[in-house]
Amino acid sequence: MSPLATCANPGRQTIEHRILEAAEEDFAQAGFAGARTAAIAARAGIPKANLHYYFKTKEALYRAVLDRILSLWLSETDIIRAEVAPAFALEHYIRAKMVLAMTHPQASRVFAHEILHGAPHIKDYLRTELRRLVAAKSRVIEGWVAAGLMAPIDPPHLFFTIWAATQTYADFDSQVCAVLGVRHLDAAHQTRAADHVVTLILRGCGLANAPKTRPFAARRPRKATIARGARRPVR
């Protein structure tokens, strides 16, 4: 079924969303090898046979979960454009990644599981689409540097730094909470963490005092439309 047909059928879309939410929880806890479609179906509140109507195999479901995660993460790079002030673009991107880490911690853990096991399901994607995206956004950053708008930095490694600094609050939340002496990160802790990461990275880019033109407003995470049987996982 095409994405258009899926969008035109809200009932189907709702069921797929429930399945993907349940699968994300299970894959985050058990990884691909340990997760079971029967448990995912039970968590989603549907018979196992219904789950396999939408996603024929566990691998197809896993790829759809990864696709949704990476689509959400990558959509936030849209702000990194030549015509946007670098301080505003980077702050927006960092804060958006922090919001996703705090509100979708299981998504980050699914991705971490995949990477720690050698990225067997998304290695081709990382080598092609993600590499091209990082190269394109790196050219934007190089343009800002050439124009004297920010300090010289290594753009790909800037992305690695942002990813590590933001996703640690999802992947290692138990450690963060233990060190801070709290049971969970409330809104005040989340704001404090985001402010710290933004300040640290903007200072490193020579943008600590740069005008940002307008305040950041986090966008509500978008639901990615998944075509049944689609194999392209799209951080």
| Long-range Cβ contacts of 46-52 (<8 Å, 24+ apart) | 46/15, 46/18, 46/19, 50/15, 51/19
Q: In this structure, is residue 227 part of a structural domain?
A: no
Q: Output 108 or 226, whichever has higher pLDDT.
A: 108
CATH of the domain at 41: 1.10.10.60
Give percent of the chain with pLDDT exceeding 70.
84
Same domain, 38 and 151: no
| 155 close to 67: Cβ distance less than 8 angstroms | no
CATH of the domain at 153: 1.10.357.10
The model carries a pTM of 0.80
Burial of 183-192, coded b for 16+ CB within 10 Å and e otherwise, reads eebeeebbee
The boundaries of the domain holding residue 77 are 66-205
pLDDT tens per residue across span 170-204: 999 999 999 999 999 999 999 999 999 999 999 99
Tokens 């050439």, located at residue: 146
pLDDT of residue 212: 56
- Of 75, 79, 74, 55, give the one whose Cα is nearest residue 65: 55
